[in-house]
Amino acid sequence: MTSPGHKKKSDKIVGAAIAFALGGLSVLAMAPYEWPIVLFFTLSSLYVLLSSGSEGKVAFLYGWSFGFGYFVFGLSWIGNALLVEGNEYAWAYPLALTVLPALLGFFPAFAVYLWRKLYDPFTLPGFLGFTASLSLFEWLRGNILTGFPWNLFGYTWAGFLPVAQIASFSDVYCLTALTILWASAAGFMFIYKAGTAKKMSVAGVLILTFVASLLFGLNRLKTPPINRDDISFVLVQPNISQSEKWTADLLPQHFNTHLDLTESEGLTAPKSIKTTYVIWPETAIPLPFTAHPDAKGMIAQALQYYPETAFLLSGAVTRSLDEKGYHNSLVAYNRDGEIVQTFNKFHLVPFGEYMPLQEILPLSPVVGFSGFKSGPGPQTLSVSEGFSFSPLVCYEIIFPNHVLANGEARPDAIINVTNDSWYGISAGPYQHFAQARFRAIEEGIPVIRVANSGFTGVIDPHGKIISRTELYEKKTLRINLPQSLKKKNYISYLSIGMILLTLIISYFLKVMTNRCTNHD
């Protein structure tokens, strides 16, 4: 006979297949679908599956299978960047679809392995341990090595802002922990070895935490932010095809497209606006144009269409100071076409913008040359009185706790320039935009996002979308800036402290429960 702790090989295969399916189905909880109810089914089902004699290596297998399913479907769009016409790495498309998801699958694998080694899933300490362990490894996924906090479970609430406001209290990791707690509760209650009264008490407390979170969010949302009437923003989405973006003969045409959209919007600019910030997307200005006198003159001419003070904030490729490398930058031009501020992207995309271990791997990044050099870190920039901003380039927006400069006054906005046209019509741009909404909620600061083709828009400090373009739309948006909240509720790194505390308390409760049982 097979003991409960040792499964047959066929049972393991079936269990792994079920876990994989649950992981894949969980993607429906993320953008563009944002159906939280799906997680309530999949995480509860996973909890029951893991409790059915799946200890040690079997739990690890099931956890990895769940993670692999979750990431292979949730990140399927990443490989699209390799299919852009002219990309020499199209052969790596199958690897992009499988290798990264396989590696990320180890985070839930180790989480459930640790949990099953330390806890009894049929007890309350075991349930709390599951929440804490899975939450801890979600935090680790976003913070160790290069970090990749994409599709954290808390992002499922992007479509339901009252619950999403919990991220303002700490960050999305805290909301992720609560989401795991709520979503796996049904599975725990199904197998919980306790009397009816105790089950009802536990269920009542869980419901109370959700209701309290909901009421907190509703209260935060009841007062909408006020728009400033002294500053106007013109957001330019040129919708330039990725296959043509870096074609040398077309670079002047692309530059003129940005200028034409800027000038046409300036012709109808309100005369009452004192300061206008025109924003172009990531790498809108290629290296030959960044500091070229003729290009700077054309920028100055375009800004003359706007009343009084005007600035251009544009993504650009720039030379490093030693002229031995390049930066993916955001550059600020004044009304005379002079560069007055430069921010260099500090969180580069591995394999996309630089090649890790390039001395060992004789390959160039997907960008097609030797790669970018990283900047020093988050900064707060100001090009005129009364407005400061934190610049972020592309996926720098996805990192909680790393979007503002430490020790500096809070900026009035986060400005994120990006280019989602690499990924076509897929879930990628939707997921990217959803994460930008959470940075606004966490920091209590509006986010202005400008894409080459993707989603250009403005998000208020509550995560509400004020205005947004659609995918593959050539368009400009003119908006006023929502005021940031007077102070943030956010406490940096509170979430990881709460997760570790829950892990410690749940283990302490487990030990005490075992002692009481043995004493009896």
Q: Which residue has the higher pLDDT, 321 or 399?
A: 399
Q: What pTM value is reported for the model? A: 0.93
Mean pLDDT of the 350-374 span:
64
Helix, strand, or coil (residue 451): strand
| 117 given a catalytic annotation | no
Mean pLDDT of the 214-221 span:
97
Burial (CB count <10 Å: 0-12, 13-18, 19+), residue 327: buried
Confidence class of residue 490 from pLDDT cuts 50, 70 and 90?
Answer: low
* Predicted confidence (pLDDT) at residue 368 exceeds the cutoff of 90: no
The mean pLDDT of the chain is 91
* Predicted confidence (pLDDT) at residue 354 exceeds the cutoff of 90: no
Task: List the beta bridge partners of residue 417.
Answer: 393, 450
User: Of residues 282, 353, 396, 442, which has the active-site annotation?
Assistant: 282
Helix, strand, or coil (residue 147): coil
Tokens describing residue 398: 């996805």
Least confident of 211-215, 289-293, 491-495: 491-495
Using only the alpha carbons of the chain, give its radius of gyration.
Answer: 25
Mean pLDDT of the 298-323 span:
91
State percent of the chain over pLDDT 90.
72
Note the pLDDT tens digit of each residue in 158-192: 999 999 999 998 899 999 999 999 999 999 999 99
Question: What would the DSSP string read from start to end of 466-493?
Answer: EEE--TT--EEEEEEEEPPPSS----TT
State residue 378's pLDDT score: 96
State residue 4's pLDDT score: 47
Confidence class of residue 87 from pLDDT cuts 50, 70 and 90?
Answer: low
* Predicted confidence (pLDDT) at residue 299 exceeds the cutoff of 80: yes
* Predicted confidence (pLDDT) at residue 31 exceeds the cutoff of 50: yes
User: Of residues 174, 265, 394, 443, which has the active-site annotation?
Assistant: 394
Residue type at 476 in one-letter notation? T
Helix, strand, or coil (residue 352): coil
| 282 given a catalytic annotation | yes
Helix, strand, or coil (residue 48): helix
Q: How far apart are CA 380 and CA 378, in angstroms?
A: 7
Question: What would the DSSP string read from start to end of 388-402?
Answer: EEEEEEGGGGG-TT-
Note the pLDDT tens digit of each residue in 410-467: 999 999 999 998 888 999 999 999 999 999 999 999 999 999 998 999 999 999 999 9
| 475 given a catalytic annotation | no
Note the pLDDT tens digit of each residue in 88-100: 677 778 888 999 9
* Predicted confidence (pLDDT) at residue 84 exceeds the cutoff of 80: no
User: Of residues 7, 245, 345, 510, which has the active-site annotation?
Assistant: 345
Note the pLDDT tens digit of each residue in 42-83: 999 999 999 987 788 999 999 999 999 999 999 999 988 777
